[in-house]
Structure 1
């Protein structure tokens, strides 16, 4: 009888211990991310960034003479990054000017390069 009681007590203790450790481990990632200062972007912020990226992409597509097939747009908190390639320096400057003209754009980082076509 005493051994059964010990088994029940040990099992209860282990279940309580397991539940407590699970609760602590579930809280650990959020505590760690907050203490590191790297808070995940709110869904509304991601949505706004996505909308701004699309707005810049639409403006680039409407620009006359600009080939947007090699241009990639990324937006984060109003800062837009253009990357990829264009055919000439006129298109490089034009893409940056068009991106700056879009409402909501605070800054533009132009990382576009020239694509010369061919092997080398």
Structure 2
């Protein structure tokens, strides 16, 4: 996924997971269902251990964690409860919240930029 393939205002929703995480495995189907529910957003499933070139030094303490960005602006980075409704409500509210910013803005921005530069990330859907 390169920046030229991403529209300036396109929403990107990335689930940061690990293959060994049972909760992540159970959550993947729900995440894919959300991709169908929010077709205006691009969804990506990223195994942070397989893709440390993208994840970098990011320390994830709780899985699943989610990165949400709009264009080149990170809006959220953090853990979410592995329930479809939790992320769905967040994705419904973030577009209306122009001031939304992650707790660690620099970490989220750095991760988003690495994702946007990666040429070979596969989208879950679309």
TM-score, scaled relative to structure 1: 0.28
More strand by share: 2
TM-score, scaled relative to structure 2: 0.27
